């Protein structure tokens, strides 16, 4: 507590992401994924170290979060979730041949 942002950067390096919405917060994030064959990888472990700073850029609070604390934090996704129907492989193949169900 009381360390400067510069000291935190020297010790921990560049944060995974930074929030400036309600004061400055550095987030250091690590995830472990498990993949079985061709299935979508499943996040089995996630750790988030959040370091909160005051207006003078001094540490005011440090918090550790994990999977048990809530939703998985998807910080590298290049996809934007959309609503709508997901097509199965069969429907995709049939639509490619102009066959309607």
Could you tell me the residue ranges of all domains in the chain? 5-96
What's the chain's average pLDDT? 76
- pTM for the whole structure: 0.60
Residue 97 predicted with pLDDT over 90? no
How far are the Cα atoms of 29, 33, 67, 69, 77 from residue 72, in angstroms, in the given order? Answer: 11, 12, 6, 9, 12
Residue 74 predicted with pLDDT over 90? no
Residue 77 predicted with pLDDT over 70? no
């Amino acid at each position: 507590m009381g360390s400067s942002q510069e000291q935190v950067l020297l010790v921990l390096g560049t944060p995974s992401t930074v929030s400036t919405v309600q004061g400055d917060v550095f987030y250091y994030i690590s995830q472990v994924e498990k993949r079985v064959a061709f299935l979508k990888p499943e996040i089995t472990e996630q750790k988030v170290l959040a370091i909160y700073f005051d207006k003078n850029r001094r540490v005011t609070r440090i918090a550790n979060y994990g999977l048990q604390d809530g939703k998985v934090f998807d910080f590298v996704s290049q996809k934007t979730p959309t609503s709508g129907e997901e097509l199965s492989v069969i429907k995709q193949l049939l639509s490619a041949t102009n066959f309607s169900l």
